[in-house]
């Protein structure tokens, strides 16, 4: 729904945390793998004799109906609210148009401002703030991306927990003091993260890709900035950025949980009144078309990272549904997409290959990414380009479109199952000015699309020969690709062979 990047200050820590947590868990299919030799699954239709599957009628599954309520606060903040009384908790999510696209000539300013919110308020240092939230069992969260910066609160809903948690949250987002010792510490964390990124070819490739796609546009630089840009940033710059970008007119307040409309109005009013007064910031400019072509980063890894991109669409583009469905078939889904089937299933060249549009406030990227063995990287790149060219030429088949629609309808209930997912949806609807009926509209639009409409939309926005390509890996002699093995799907057998 919205652009996301990996968390920043916890970059190294999070990696460690996950490693530790996952040591005991070995999945049947990890999210990614760099082993290319493993995959040779047949690409044909799933076959089964499951009786319950045969009995399943074609109707879309029912889904949770959301009653989204909306209003504006006295200071001009837009509020979206869903009452959900089942659990004694609530989620509050503030989305400011205060992402790194507002950095100006100080890349990293938005990230630092956001990271400094909970480092000090009048009479409380970072430890006292943390004790305040944690003593109530409340979780404070924050993050800055290209379009947006967020501050979140999850708390129990009983008055004795809710009221002090909200009071502290309002101070943190509205009246941070930006202590200078904390700024030095957070800069150090970011600097350590930059050092760590130098070892990560995927990260380096992605940074170069954004530079080439966006040139002088503010989406070009990473949200964290770089070592040179963050070092001179001062507390005064943070104060000035906070005063304009964390203004009540520049925020969307999303609320979900065990609250009445009256409670929600009170909370929104309290948070809004605590913020600096001011209007919404001007939208960033449209990016201009990048120069297509390939560039390479020499890196001593075994795998080569391949990234292929073009400018895609903004979040309000009328072709959003057609492009999302079209992309689902190309490389947005998990198994059986055109890219997965040709690159992984028939040739075993990668563990995973994915494509996707990232719609943003102005045109976000359309991106295809994969890793492959270094000596096969040139052939694989050409194969991916051929698949895209062919897909744009022929468009999806009726069967592909029907399957994609069914999968989309089936997975739709998951999109608003939890308070966490609903509050995220509300934030996006508010931030990108989508209609309240957006989720339903999107589903209906998607289900009524024809193959011709999907093909036309894809060709309106993508041109096979205009991709911006970045590769990162070792320079090694290249080998030809193995031929595809188009094994037909094996039929189920009656008994185990033992």
Q: Which of 283, 288, 335, 478 binds other proteins (CB under 8 A)?
A: 335
- CA 281 to mean position of chain CA atoms: 23
Site for other proteins in 104-133 (CB under 8 A): 118, 126-127, 130-131
- Residue closer to other proteins, measured from CB, 3 or 403: 403
| DSSP run (H or E) holding 156 | strand 149-156
Q: Which is nearer to other proteins, 188 or 397 (CB)?
A: 188
Taking residue 380's Cβ as centre, other Cβ atoms within 10 Å add up to 24
CA separation for the pair 254, 422 (Å, rounded): 9
| Per CB under 8 A, 317 contacts other proteins | no
Minimum CB distance to other proteins smaller for 236 or for 497:
497
Size of the site for other proteins (CB under 8 A): 99
Query: Does 22 participate in binding other proteins (rule CB under 8 A)?
Result: yes
Burial annotation 397-410 (CB, 10 A radius, 16+ → b, else e): eeebbebbbebbbe
DSSP H or E segment with residue 22: helix 11-22
Subset of residues 399 to 418 that bind other proteins, contact rule: CB under 8 A = 403, 406-407, 409-414, 416-418
Q: Is 490 in the site for other proteins (CB under 8 A)?
A: yes
Binders of other proteins among 137-176, rule CB under 8 A? 137-139, 154-158, 161
Residues facing 121 on adjacent strands: 124
Residue 434 Cβ, how far from other proteins at the closest point, in Å? 21
Q: Interface mask (CB under 8 A) for other proteins, residues 338-377, using x and -?
A: ----------------------------------------
| Contacts of other proteins in 78-97 (CB under 8 A) | 84-89
Q: Which is nearer to other proteins, 185 or 244 (CB)?
A: 185
Could you tell me which stretch among 189-197, 212-220, 285-293, 439-447 binds other proteins (CB under 8 A)?
189-197
Which residue number, 188 or 316, has a Cβ lying nearer to other proteins?
188
- Span 191-210, contacts to other proteins by CB under 8 A: 191-192, 195, 199
Q: For residue 486, which phi and psi values (nearest 5 degrees)? A: -95, 65
28 binds other proteins (CB under 8 A): yes
Residue 56: burial class (beta carbons within 10 Å; 0-12, 13-18, 19+):
exposed
58 vs 216, which CB is nearer to other proteins? 58
Select from 61, 279, 293, 482 the one that contacts other proteins (CB under 8 A): 61
Contact between 476 and other proteins (CB under 8 A)? no
Q: Which is nearer to other proteins, 335 or 437 (by Cβ)?
A: 335
Check binding of 496 to other proteins (CB under 8 A). yes
User: At a CB cut-off of 8 Å and minimum separation 6, what does 3 contact?
Assistant: 145, 146, 147, 148, 358, 360, 364
Residue range at the interface with other proteins (CB under 8 A); choices 27-35, 227-235, 310-318, 361-369: 27-35
Shortest CB 357 distance to other proteins, Å: 20
**Residue 118 near residue 140, CB atoms below 8 Å:** yes
The yes or no reply on residue 260 touching other proteins (CB under 8 A) is: no
**DSSP per-residue codes, 206-255:** HHHHHHHHHTTSTTSS-TT--HHHHTT--HHHHHHHHHHHT-GGGEEEEE
Q: Is residue 327 part of the contact set for other proteins (CB under 8 A)?
A: no
* Cβ atoms 159, 166 nearer than 8 A: no
Nearest to 151, CA basis, from 433, 423, 432: 423
What is d(CA 41, CA 55) in angstroms, rounded to the nearest whole number? 27
Which residue has tokens 């719609």?
359
Using the rule CB under 8 A, give the single segment among 47-55, 235-243, 312-320, 474-482 that binds other proteins: 47-55
Q: Tokens representing 177?
A: 């003091």
Q: Are 205 and 305 in contact (CB under 8 A)?
A: yes
Length of the chain: 498
Shortest Å distance, C-beta 86 to other proteins: 5
Neighbouring C-beta atoms of residue 314, cutoff 10 Å: 16
Select from 58-66, 204-212, 247-255, 453-461 the region that touches other proteins (CB under 8 A).
58-66
Least separation in angstroms between CB 293 and other proteins: 32
* Separation CA 162–CA 153 (nearest Å): 10
Tokens of 247: 């203004």
CB of 102 to other proteins, least distance (A): 27
Q: Does 485 sit near other proteins (CB under 8 A)? A: no
């Amino acid at each position: 729904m919205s652009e996301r990047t990996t968390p920043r200050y916890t970059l190294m820590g999070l990696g460690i945390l996950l490693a530790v947590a996952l040591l005991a868990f070995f999945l049947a299919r990890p999210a990614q793998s760099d082993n290319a030799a493993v995959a040779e699954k047949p690409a044909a239709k799933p076959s089964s004799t499951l009786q319950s599957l045969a009995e399943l009628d074609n109707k879309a599954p029912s889904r949770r109906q959301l009653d989204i309520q909306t209003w504006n606060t006295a200071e001009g903040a837009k509020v979206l609210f869903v009452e959900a009384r089942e659990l004694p908790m609530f989620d509050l999510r503030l989305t400011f148009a205060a992402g790194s696209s507002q950095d100006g000539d100080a890349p990293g300013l938005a990230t630092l401002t956001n990271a400094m919110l909970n480092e000090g308020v009048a009479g409380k240092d970072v430890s006292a703030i943390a004790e305040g939230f944690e003593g109530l069992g409340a979780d404070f969260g924050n993050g800055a991306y290209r379009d947006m910066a967020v501050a979140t609160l999850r708390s129990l809903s009983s008055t004795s927990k809710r009221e002090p948690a909200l009071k502290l949250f309002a101070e943190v987002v509205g009246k941070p003091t930006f202590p200078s010792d904390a700024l030095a510490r957070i800069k150090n964390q970011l600097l350590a993260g930059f050092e760590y990124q130098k070892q990560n070819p995927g990260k380096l490739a992605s940074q170069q890709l954004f530079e080439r796609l966006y040139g002088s546009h503010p989406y070009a630089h990473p949200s964290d900035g770089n070592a040179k840009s963050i070092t001179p940033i001062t507390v005064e710059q943070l104060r000035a950025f906070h005063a304009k970008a964390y203004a009540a007119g520049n925020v969307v307040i999303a609320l979900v949980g065990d609250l009445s409309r009256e409670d929600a109005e009170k909370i929104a009013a309290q948070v809004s009144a605590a913020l600096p007064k001011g209007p919404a910031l001007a939208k960033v400019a449209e990016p201009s078309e990048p120069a297509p072509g390939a560039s390479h980063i020499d890196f001593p890894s075994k795998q080569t990272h391949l990234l292929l991109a073009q400018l895609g669409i903004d979040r309000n583009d009328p072709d959003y549904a057609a492009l999302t469905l079209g992309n689902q078939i190309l490389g947005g889904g998990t198994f059986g997409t055109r890219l997965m089937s040709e690159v992984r299933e028939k040739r075993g060249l990668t563990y995973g290959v994915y494509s996707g549009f990232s719609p943003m406030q102005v045109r976000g990227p359309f991106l295809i990414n994969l890793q492959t063995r270094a000596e096969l990287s040139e052939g694989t790149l050409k194969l991916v380009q051929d698949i895209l060219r062919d897909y744009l030429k022929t468009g999806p088949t009726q069967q592909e479109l029907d399957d994609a629609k069914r999968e989309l309808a089936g997975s739709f209930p998951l999109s608003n199952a939890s308070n966490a997912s609903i509050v995220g949806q509300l934030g996006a609807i508010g931030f990108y000015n989508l209609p309240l009926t957006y989720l339903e509209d999107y589903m209906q639009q998607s289900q009524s699309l024809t193959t011709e409409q999907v093909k036309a939309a894809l060709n309106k926005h993508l041109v096979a020969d205009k991709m911006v390509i970045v590769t990162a890996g070792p320079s090694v002699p290249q080998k030809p690709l193995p031929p595809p093995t188009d094994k037909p799907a094996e039929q189920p057998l009656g008994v185990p062979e033992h």
